[in-house]
Amino acid sequence: MTSPAELYHAHRELLDRAISAASARDYWSAFPESPSKKVYGEEAAPAGDRAFTALLGQAFPIDVPGAVGSVSTERSPYGIELGVSYPKADPLALVAAARAAVPGWRDAGPQGRAGVAAEILRRLHARVFELAHAVQHTTGQAFVMAFQAGGAHALDRGLEAVAFALAATTRLPASAPWAKGPLTLEKTSTVVGRGVGLVIGCTTFPTWNGFPGLFASLVTGNPVIVKPHPGAVLPLALTVQVCREVLRDAGLNPDIVTLAAEEPGDGIAATLATHPDVRIVDFTGSSEFGDWLEANARQAVVYTEKAGLNTVVLDSTDDYRGLLGNLAFSLSLYSGQMCTTPQNILIPRDGIATDAGRRSPDEFGADLTAALDKLLGDPRRAGGTLGAIVNDGVAARLAEAGTATGVIHPSTAIADEQFPGATIRTPLVARLDAADEKTYTREWFGPVSFLITTDSTEHSLRIFTETVRAHGALTALVHSTSPSVLAAARTAALDAGVHLSENLTGGVFVNQTAAFSDLHGTGANPAATASLTDDWFVTGRFFTLQSRRHLPTVDPS
């Protein structure tokens, strides 16, 4: 058995480095993002593939307090048979088990809890290829993206949350003497978790979005119930399995982390989220359910990340080719099934100035279409960028958008030789006018974007500010060579409460964020109530309770 304190000392260098990186905001990653044999060795990839394959068609090896039967709910977007079953959760039993685990977890202290969390991340990293296959075949991400976003980058986001939580919970000294004249006291401070935490997973990025809340709650002293989306259970089941193994090995109650698998429509998420003992809710998913949680989980602090109207403002550029290539990739990555994918592209009626000459909205639309076709022209390469359509809801929105007038880049099907059962579609782009508010103020999650004609750049910035204030956004992008326009765009982004990218024409894309440097979400607009990861994301998860006592008076004689 390795105690939590021993795990902290074993991972002390990593934890200190993570805290430093979170403060410096420069590039740093603890987990290599390339699945290359040069990085991970010859055997890591085939071993991960075998481990994933061995899970298919089987009951997943995990114990769940008070389980009542089993569920099998996942379908691979790539068409392979998964057939993995999980113990079906009894929500009341999970809450009771979590509460019973609190005292031992509290006594482990912030450093001990951080040591346990770091060991969980280390063991998950040892299974990163297996985890990547699980992400790929539940979300539809292409394998390399699943390895990066669902594996290495998710682990970085988890470690980032550990770093913020450890720094916040050790800001006050655990013990301090106090003297006032002849009076002497000893004062101790104990970090106490807010209560049972609930992580409600999403179907597109179950680990990348799930790890921050999970690890922030754990390090701040809370037991956590992980409730995966029925369509993407396996990545989080693997995570909970590793959590429970590490907790057991550290001599702790494994019910500090439990799994709440359910059939679609069981309503376990709502039942747990409104339970009086559940005091923290982390949610990623639809705006509809996120809004419901914010309104109804009143006993809890609720951290939501939903979706919104991610916006691009076009004014001018001195790298037109780079702009087109960068934007085409942003629209195509994972078939637009990212909460950060641009939806509304605003362009003035008289066009934009570029190094290739002035381009009208019609010309820009034709050029963007050509850039998409060039990027996705080779089906083998296209599949690695697009991934597969994750569910029927995305497919339905895509079909609906295809019936509209003004489509300038229809969505087409692409075949994948390796996975003939996969549904792979290219992005759809449609032309709209600024007056078509009813269409572009609706969220079209998936590979659907609109090129919207406005009266001027000033008009574009006004639409950007107003729509994001009302409907939310996680990203915004402006292209301009004018310092005054860039300054106005920065002000508009501050007013709208959204992160802004400027003039992206290279290998950094508006829908990608880096742990330890980029914030994801702001809490300042309706798309999210928190940011990954800042102090607010962790400080609402714990309290610090003080105890004080007289010290014996020392006789000077």
The predicted-structure confidence for 533-550, as pLDDT tens digits, reads as follows 999 999 999 999 999 999
Query: What per-residue confidence (pLDDT) applies to 1?
Result: 84
> In terms of Cα–Cα distance, which of 501, 56, 537 is closest to 323?
501
Preceding amide of 533 cis, omega within 30: yes
* Residue 555 pLDDT greater than 80, yes or no: no
Q: What is the pLDDT of residues 344-370, one digit of tens each?
A: 999 999 999 999 999 999 999 999 999
Alpha carbons 287 and 528: distance in angstroms, whole number? 9
* Residue 556 pLDDT greater than 70, yes or no: no
Confidence of residue 379 (pLDDT cuts 50, 70, 90): confident
Query: What per-residue confidence (pLDDT) applies to 440?
Result: 97
For residues 333-360, b (16+ Cβ closer than 10 Å) or e, as one string?
A: bbbbbbbbbbbbbbbbeebbbbeeeebe
DSSP-derived pairing of the beta strands 407-409 and 428-433: antiparallel
Mean pLDDT of the chain: 96
Query: What per-residue confidence (pLDDT) applies to 332?
Result: 98
* Residue 292 pLDDT greater than 60, yes or no: yes
Task: Give the rounded percent of residues in the chain with a pLDDT score beyond 70.
Answer: 99
Confidence of residue 155 (pLDDT cuts 50, 70, 90): very high
Q: What is the pLDDT of residues 59-85, one digit of tens each?
A: 999 999 999 999 999 999 999 999 999
Estimate to the nearest angstrom the gap between the alpha carbon of 451 and the chain centroid: 27
Helix (H, G, I), strand (E, B) or coil at 314: strand
Q: From the CB of residue 248, how many other CB atoms can be counted at a distance below 10 Å? A: 12
* Residue 199 pLDDT greater than 70, yes or no: yes
Query: What per-residue confidence (pLDDT) applies to 310?
Result: 98
Helix (H, G, I), strand (E, B) or coil at 304: strand
pTM for this structure? 0.96
Q: Which amino acid is at 428?
A: L
Q: Which residues lie below 8 Å from residue 367, measured CB to CB, with a gap of 6+?
A: 320, 324, 359
Query: What per-residue confidence (pLDDT) applies to 228?
Result: 98
Burial category of 325 from C-beta neighbours within 10 Å (exposed 0-12, middle 13-18, buried 19 and up): middle
Query: What per-residue confidence (pLDDT) applies to 554?
Result: 60
* Residue 405 pLDDT greater than 90, yes or no: no
Q: Which two tokens stand for residue 498?
A: 């959204």
Half-sphere exposure of 418 (CA within 13 A, CB side): 12
Q: What is the pLDDT of residues 294-351, one digit of tens each?
A: 999 999 999 999 989 999 999 999 999 999 999 999 999 999 999 999 999 999 999 9
Query: What per-residue confidence (pLDDT) applies to 557?
Result: 56
Mean pLDDT of all residues in 400-429: 94
Query: What per-residue confidence (pLDDT) applies to 392?
Result: 93
Query: What per-residue confidence (pLDDT) applies to 551?
Result: 86
Alpha carbons 370 and 325: distance in angstroms, whole number? 10
Phi, psi of 430 (to 5 degrees): -125, 150
Do 549 and 542 meet the contact criterion of CB atoms below 8 Å apart? no
Query: What per-residue confidence (pLDDT) applies to 552?
Result: 79
Q: What is the pLDDT of residues 470-493, one digit of tens each?
A: 999 999 999 999 999 999 999 999
Q: Which amino acid is at 41?
A: G
